[in-house]
Structure 1
């Protein structure tokens, strides 16, 4: 809990812990929690399960074996061993334990589906193996107070429908992946879900910052499903008569960016969940490709939306460790001035050498985004670069720390070897759904 707490607490609260920065505090509490788990000191299975779930939010080095999938997989395996995936068959559960088990199981389910969709990997939980009732508002009602009211405050009114909505979206994500390449059928399912949302979760002007925050995150997750579903059509080479279905992904990315802009204006983005990173990155991919295809006002709008996504990612950096160089692939698609402005917007961002606390020394290029490889070579340079096999970092595959990237400090990986990217991007036509999913693994 302390590990997650220092990830999302205010700067004032963080300063009171005595740590120099957020990453140092997170690493310290993560190591302590991991050591307690490894020692086998805790005997309560439910507590161990909850701890494993929280440990899955650790974002370590590229080669670290105990990554998000490791901890999440351990939590899911333990839950299945305990029978949480078939709790409808169990008759010995009292009402209190049944509510707790349902909340835990659906938290695992949502995290598993979102992580799998982001990484392009199969989920560990299969619906055909499960017999679990859907989440309901009554599952969040407690007969006894949890503790002092000044510490355990009641959640905002939109909290419960938000959690239920996220569980429903996770189910839709699973259904969509099972149906296959039938976007129209999936869209009808999505539309039905949106039409059945309770009034407080409808996408409209929320009455409070808390409502804006939770409603915004729910609808960004919803829009991300459209992006994932229609992205293959959008990535097809543009033709004179554009496929209207391909624009569904662009429309979804635009809606997500508007939500992100509202959240940025209220200083809410940094408090978002870790999956807001991949949702924002998905929108950034779409806007960047669109930027290279259009001209005039449409091009300026695409650039503006991409810039908003970049600002959102920089805000998320305050809470989550974003120390990867994947975004550099997309900076080359922006014009020099935008890339340079974004680079200078954060004077605290390192630009020479970084050691991200994981034993890796990363040498960064002193060149600015406006020099060398970053300079657009033609009016259609953005699209040309996206199709170019040279749009990849040059490094020696045998040297783990030989990545030469200005933007490395923005990103980290979530469970894969950074050296595997070289082969995946060697094909000029690498911007296909499979390789975009591969890139997501490095967020």
Structure 2
């Protein structure tokens, strides 16, 4: 028996040794391809500073104090996988012009850092599971390479959630043997994954992966951003605006998840043929309460606010408000009831606030610093304003008409950072031109269907024509991109599928 056990142990050791050898050879190959290359020190410093200034507040998954200490220590440097992932995320917001192409975009450098980070990930170079989760979240920040757009965001985030749950981050660690610093970091990572899960479910129309009923992690609090260690105070105190932004962001995503589950899911559509107005009013009250509880530093109504982060937070709030009231309007199939007029007005006002926020970003040159969710917010405002132009303006002389060129200029500016903005720009231009070219027909008593039919050139009350119109709009968007050659690395099939996903989630696939 001892000899058998010894033989098995030796075979296991040899297999492990062979695996390590293969991994070493793989890393050597990656080194030859440039995975270990990093920019000059000055550019690295700028990338890291930009990351903690503009990315970290939205995804506070890294202990800044510990990371900066490692970054300055040549004998104990940070994880290369994590470092390349940080460079990838911060490329979008860094001011250094050497990172930009001739047209001002960061597409080339973002793709370069993406390939380097992915090479480390594929080689299993990193063994720290926390660093792997952090890196996957940041790799999922990347949009607009040669791979599938959805794969680069949804799949990386989904993988990060699975690894985090396998590590036990969905369970409370309050009584564990982890240090206080690690406990706080785990909570921040988990609630970051929660916010990413909810926003990707909204923007891409995918199922939510995190069920809070399966988790007992305590709600994140101010103290979880304290990075002091026993006997060593942190040299990087938490920014109050960043802390309050994320706390309110998590609270908003909780409400968003309830709205998606109760009103926008397939379960809700099959279970309830008509919207439960009590449920809608409940979520409306929750959003009003959320807005009233915002601290002054992230409140749009306060002179003490942090202008940028208050605006980013409220762009998400007004987008959620549009989603809530749009679900009420899209449920209308007959004569428009007077009871829904307040909901219609609320949707239009929320869209106007989104437009104003985006115009403010554009005026101050901050659109490129915004997270990619700003594209969805802008698309939401466009749809609501088109609805306003087609339906409300005929009954309300005071209706304010939006200017399509405001959307085009904003999307073009965003596309230099997020190539997906160029895709949406082409799609909306095609839809608007179709609507303006004389194909528009008089609207009927079904606001949403006639709205879609008018924009797509379809006849009212015929669902097949609406579907044909959607296909035509998608094809026109593809033709526009192919003709202009603005985004040659996005294959036509991807464009068509992505256009279909966006339109479908906006409730225009009836």
Q: TM-score band (shorter)? A: 0.7 to 0.9
- Bigger proportion of residues as helix: 2
Q: Unaligned 5+ residue runs, structure 2?
A: 1-85, 264-274, 444-449, 459-464
Aligned to 2:356: 258
1:405 is paired with a residue of what secondary structure? Answer: helix
| 1:33 counterpart = 2:117 | yes
Distance in 2 between residues matched to 1:195 and 1:130, nearest whole Å: 28
Aligned with residue 162 of structure 1, among 245, 248, 251? 245
The alignment covers a number of residue pairs equal to 384
Question: Deviation at 1:376?
Answer: 3.3
Q: Is the 8 A contact 1:317 1:410 kept in 2?
A: no
| Residues 192, 412 of structure 1: alpha-carbon distance in 2 compared, 3 angstrom cutoff | farther
- Distance, in Å, in 2 between the alignment partners of 1:435 and 1:294 is 18
**Out of 391, 400, 404, which is 2:479 matched to?**
404
Distance in 2, matches of 1:402 and 1:301, equals: 27
One of 131, 145, 155 as aligned partner of 1:47: 131
Matched, 1:234 2:329: yes
TM-score normalised by structure 1 residue count: 0.74
Q: Which residue matches 1:23?
A: 107
Matched, 1:108 2:190: no
1:8 aligns with 2:8: no
Q: Which has the larger radius of gyration?
A: 2
Q: What's the CA shift string for 1:54-87, capped at 9, x where partnerless?
A: 0112223474674211110111111111111102
Give unmatched runs, 5+ long, in structure 1. Answer: 335-368, 439-443
* Equivalent pair of 2:245/2:310 in contact (CA under 8 Å): yes
More contact order relative to length (CA 8 Å, sep ≥ 6): 1
Question: Does the 8 A contact of 2:227 with 2:237 survive in 1?
Answer: no
Shift of the alpha carbon at 1:224? Answer: 1.1
Alignment of 1:42-441 (within 5 A): 42-59=126-143, 60-61=145-146, 63=148, 66-88=151-173, 90-143=175-228, 156-180=239-263, 181=275, 182-204=279-301, 206-207=303-304, 211-235=306-330, 236=332, 239=336, 241=338, 243-295=341-393, 301-304=400-403, 306-322=404-420, 325-332=423-430, 334=432, 375-377=437-439, 383=451, 384-386=454-456, 388=458, 389=465, 391-392=469-470, 403-406=478-481, 409=486, 417-420=494-497, 433-435=506-508
8 Å CA contact retained: 2:351, 2:381: yes
Using the size of structure 2 for normalisation, the TM-score is: 0.65
SS at 2:402 equivalent = helix
Instruction: Tell me if structure 2 keeps the 8 A contact 1:264–1:312.
Output: yes
When structure 1 is superposed on structure 2, of 306-315 and 132-141 the one drifting more is 306-315
Rounded Cα–Cα distance in structure 1 between residues aligned with 2:487 and 2:506: 23
Deviation of 1:309 after TM superposition, in Å, equals 3.6
CA distance in structure 2 between the partners assigned to 1:166 and 1:411 by the alignment = 36
CA contact (8 A) 2:202 2:260 kept: no
Q: 1:264 to 1:19 in 2, by over 3 A?
A: closer
Distance 1:412 1:387 in 2: 30
Report deviation, 1:331: 2.6
In structure 2, relative to structure 1, the CA distance for the partners of 1:77 and 1:197 (3 Å cut) is same
RMSD over aligned Cα, in angstroms? Answer: 3.9
For residues 255 and 108 of structure 1, the distance between their equivalents in structure 2, rounded to whole angstroms, comes to 28
Relative to 1, partners in 2 of residues 1:18 and 1:144: Cα closer, same or farther, differing over 3 Å?
farther
* Distance in structure 2 (CA, Å) of the matches to 1:253 and 1:375: 25
- CA spacing shift, 1:46–1:375, aligned 2, 3 Å: same
